[in-house]
Amino acid sequence: MSTSSQSLHGIDREALQRIVEPIVRAHGAEIVDIEFKPERGGWVLRLYVEKAGAAAQRLSTRDAAVDLDLCANVSRDLSPALDVVELVPHAYHLEVSSPGVERPLRAEGDFVRFAGQKAKLKLREPVGGQRVVVGRLEGVADGKVRVVEGSRTHEVPLAVVESARLVFEFGSSSSREHKKKH
């Protein structure tokens, strides 16, 4: 489930992170995830970044978001560094972006950090007869993430989570903020 277990199609992930992390940190950000995959226009090396300290401070997606200038600056500084080390086996496009409001959940800490938010989990094997669970994250205990779906509570072993992401609920946070103000 952790980022380190995700395949990078022949790229040495640790070597790549040794190049990427100092550059991202120099811009006041931290790496959320790295992807390398084929898409229509060719191969894409995609880095998702957020503000430095966001994970440790358990910031919301909104508070952890980075702007376009930061992404462009990281990309500008990272591109020549990657060209020099030649870790990527063939031509690719480099993209640096924020993970967004429907960000992937990769590590156990992500499920803890975003407790109370809605998420969609796709499972390698069924849990409670379901291969897809959508509901509110309620934390992690004993290697299982608790997901509340209406009146049902699922205890999903992290080991069976194939992929997970937050689910954006239009107007949910703004309506809560609006109620608080009045």
> Is the pLDDT higher at 27 or at 91?
27
> What pLDDT does residue 7 have?
57
Instruction: Based on the fold, state whether residues 37 and 68 are members of the same structural domain.
Output: yes
CA proximity to 146, closest of 132, 130, 133, 129:
133
- Boundary of a domain, candidates 73, 97, 121: 97
> What pLDDT does residue 180 have?
42
Instruction: Based on the fold, state whether residues 63 and 41 are members of the same structural domain.
Output: yes
Domain count, the chain: 2
Say which CATH number the domain at 57 has.
3.30.300.70
> Is the pLDDT higher at 178 or at 66?
66
Rounded Cα–Cα distance for residues 88 and 26 (Å): 22
Q: Give per-residue pLDDT as tens, 105-116.
A: 989 999 999 999
pTM: 0.79
Instruction: Find the domain containing 141 and state its range.
Output: 108-169
Strand locations in 52-168, DSSP E? 93-97, 118-127, 130-141, 144-149, 152-157, 161-166
Q: Give per-residue pLDDT as tens, 131-159.
A: 999 999 999 999 999 999 999 999 999 99
CA proximity to 27, closest of 68, 87, 84:
68
- Boundary of a domain, candidates 56, 72, 97: 97
